[in-house]
Amino acid sequence: MRPTRWWQTGVVYQVYPRSFGDSNGDGVGDLEGIRRHLDYLVWLGVDAIWISPFYRSPMKDFGYDVSDHTDVDPLFGDLAAFNRLLADAHARGLRVIVDFVPNHTSDQHAWFIESRSSRDSPKRGWYVWRDPKPDGGPPSNWISVFGGSAWALDGSTGQYYLHSFLAEQPDLDWRNPDVKHAMFDVLRFWLDRGVDGFRIDVAQFIAKDPLYRDNPPHPEPERLAHMGAWSRQLHLYDHGHPDLHGIYREFRALLDAYPGDRVSIGELHDEQIEVWAGFYGHNLDEIHIPFNFHLLFATWDAARIRTIVDGIEAALPVGAWPNWVLGNHDQRRIASRLGQAQARVAMLLLLTLRGTPTLYYGDELGLPDAELRPDQVRDPWGLVEPTQGRDPGRSPMPWDGTANAGFCAPDVEPWLPFAPGHDRRNVAAQLEESASLLSMTRRLIRLRREHPALAEGVHRTIDGSPSGTFCFLRSPDGDGTHPAVLVALNLTAESRPIELHHGSGRVLDGTHPERIGAAVDTAALELRPDEGLVVEVAG
């Protein structure tokens, strides 16, 4: 099935608003700061920006604790600033996707303040309140993603409320129809303003076991080691209930009733590919882009990457469109996970696979993790579990080589330190170099748009390439009149000979730009250490 929708052919770029551009001199990025950098995003060639939350919030989880869903936090500006950003983005052909945080609110949200005021409050049933167990303990053994029990006792009303994340992020009860109506009204508010879609925060959390049964221990806790203490349980009951599908069908219908191809992107963490694929919906009537994080958590090994890519391609429901993610605001930076050389290979993979890529701001520069002193830690998870701190991947965007890198005024302290090497690794410096990761990213985004094989071609993994390499072919449907594209990746630091018997080809792009334009024989191709090549071959 040919991709025809903008969200299929386009590239999504995630902006973490605290870290993109500070326009008002407080060291924290804001909406006007994003607006001032729109031309960069157009130059880079992305199609849409997804902006992490900028709503009113006490910022206990940097905006994922929303206290007013329909207003902008003064830290980021106001609704007028959002309108300007949206209008200017649209004027440049850029779509704007906003975050939707359905599972929880801030404990300072008027709904929760009302809900906790008394057991008889009309909003009591908007959140999940339960009596203590007979011994006074929490109603179940569920643990918060950020550590500790997921239940907090409210002393004045004598009941526990559920919080899958911080105690300051109480969970809404989506089994209550009033909650669903109110949250769907939030969607309408932003759709009416003209946003092009939503990224749905922890989309699997909004339906839980209605009996609140205890989770069993995880038989292989090391499998989810990146989740810290949360990895110790098998999360059968605290999220992922099948009732989710009905909610997302309604969600989708709401979006589809609006003109202009609005999109939903779901944050879904599920090791089981079939469960993940289920969120497209039986008739592709649920989430447009169920985020596919399988590459993000993969061991960077060619055989593993191949298994993932083939597994995702095989698991897709008929007509479903894949998507790929390599970085986001919750993970370490790709350049620190893989090193600079393989970060280039990874970017080339992201931009040549079949499916919508989501690019995390700064990864196009190869930003490494920022290094923080203990007194610079800001992330609540990092304060509770130091190994889980997410600040290193959220450092300010370095625009140039001046003091404070053009992110904020030179005399202002940015809210987090810059990643090391920002005096060289910044937009202005990399713009100048054709060999930079930024230049390669920009070229590949254009190539993916212009070359039919990359824009819409089917995917076929090529068997028999040497260990440590992953090769695939992207071929446009049809009679073979359009050339195909061969992608050959060397995930090792040693050279690898490839014999693919495809005959001659021409290098369209690659991690080593001096090869661009060269004629190559794909039946006898020497991949250099850490090299990725995009080669046009006969269809």
Positions annotated as catalytic residues are: 201, 267
Residues 288, 284: Cα–Cα separation, whole Å: 8
**In the complex, what is the shortest distance from the CB of residue 202 to ligand NOJ, in angstroms, rounded to a whole number?**
5
Give me the phi and psi of 482, to 5 degrees please.
-90, 140
**In the complex, what is the shortest distance from the CB of residue 263 to ligand NOJ, in angstroms, rounded to a whole number?**
18
Do residues 175 and 110 make contact, with C-beta atoms less than 8 angstroms apart?
no
The strand pairing partners of 525, in sequence order, are 498
**In the complex, what is the shortest distance from the CB of residue 530 to ligand NOJ, in angstroms, rounded to a whole number?**
30
| Residue carrying the six token digits 């995702």 | 312
Q: Report the residue number, 33 or 380, with the smaller CB distance to ligand NOJ.
A: 380
Q: Which of 13, 16, 64, 230 binds ligand NOJ (CB under 6 A)?
A: 64
Site string for ligand NOJ, 319-338 (x = CB under 6 A): ----------xx--------
Q: Which residue is nearest to ligand NOJ (CB)?
A: 64
Residues 143, 516: Cα–Cα separation, whole Å: 52
**Which letter, b or e, does each residue of 116-141 get, where b requires 16 or more Cβ atoms within 10 Å of its Cβ?**
beeeebebbebbbbeeeeeeeebbbb
What is the torsion angle, in degrees rounded to the nearest 10, for the CA atoms of residue 77, residue 81, residue 83 and residue 88? -130
Residues in the chain: 539
**In the complex, what is the shortest distance from the CB of residue 51 to ligand NOJ, in angstroms, rounded to a whole number?**
13
Using DSSP, state whether 490 is helix, strand or coil.
Answer: strand
Residues 267, 254: Cα–Cα separation, whole Å: 19
**In the complex, what is the shortest distance from the CB of residue 199 to ligand NOJ, in angstroms, rounded to a whole number?**
9
**In the complex, what is the shortest distance from the CB of residue 325 to ligand NOJ, in angstroms, rounded to a whole number?**
12
Do residues 455 and 471 make contact, with C-beta atoms less than 8 angstroms apart?
no
Angle at 165 between CA 253 and CA 156, to 5 degrees: 105
Q: Report the residue number, 227 or 409, with the smaller CB distance to ligand NOJ.
A: 227
**In the complex, what is the shortest distance from the CB of residue 63 to ligand NOJ, in angstroms, rounded to a whole number?**
8
- The residue count for binding ligand NOJ (CB under 6 A) is 9
What is the torsion angle, in degrees rounded to the nearest 10, for the CA atoms of residue 114, residue 119, residue 122 and residue 125? 90
Q: Report the residue number, 333 or 448, with the smaller CB distance to ligand NOJ.
A: 333
Instruction: Spell out the SS3 assignment of 340-375.
Output: HHHHHHHHHHHHHCCCEEEEECCHHHCCCCCCCCHH
In 3D space, the residue among 244, 119, 240, 238 whose CA is nearest the CA of residue 174 turns out to be: 244
Q: Binding to ligand NOJ (CB under 6 A): which residues in 270-299? A: none
Do residues 192 and 255 make contact, with C-beta atoms less than 8 angstroms apart?
no
Q: Report the residue number, 196 or 201, with the smaller CB distance to ligand NOJ.
A: 201
Site string for ligand NOJ, 196-215 (x = CB under 6 A): -----xx-------------
Q: Which of 30, 32, 47, 61 binds ligand NOJ (CB under 6 A)?
A: 61
Q: Which two tokens stand for residue 427?
A: 């937009």
Q: Binding to ligand NOJ (CB under 6 A): which residues in 136-165? A: 165
**In the complex, what is the shortest distance from the CB of residue 239 to ligand NOJ, in angstroms, rounded to a whole number?**
12
**In the complex, what is the shortest distance from the CB of residue 178 to ligand NOJ, in angstroms, rounded to a whole number?**
22
Element (H, E) at 455: helix 452-456
Instruction: Tell me whether strands 289-290 and 323-325 are parallel, antiparallel or unpaired.
Output: unpaired
DSSP per-residue codes, 202-269: TGGGG---TT-PPPPBPS-GGGGGGGGGGGGB--SSSS--TTHHHHHHHHHHHHHTSSS--EEEE---
Report if residue 251 touches ligand NOJ, rule: CB under 6 A. Answer: no
Give me the phi and psi of 27, to 5 degrees please.
85, 0
Give me the phi and psi of 233, to 5 degrees please.
-110, 155
Residues 139, 161: Cα–Cα separation, whole Å: 9
Residues 349, 342: Cα–Cα separation, whole Å: 10
Q: Which two tokens stand for residue 421?
A: 């090497």
Site string for ligand NOJ, 14-53 (x = CB under 6 A): ----------------------------------------
| Residue carrying the six token digits 């609140």 | 212
**In the complex, what is the shortest distance from the CB of residue 52 to ligand NOJ, in angstroms, rounded to a whole number?**
7
Instruction: Tell me whether strands 356-360 and 12-15 are parallel, antiparallel or unpaired.
Output: parallel
Residues that bind ligand NOJ (CB under 6 A): 61, 64, 101, 165, 201-202, 267, 329-330
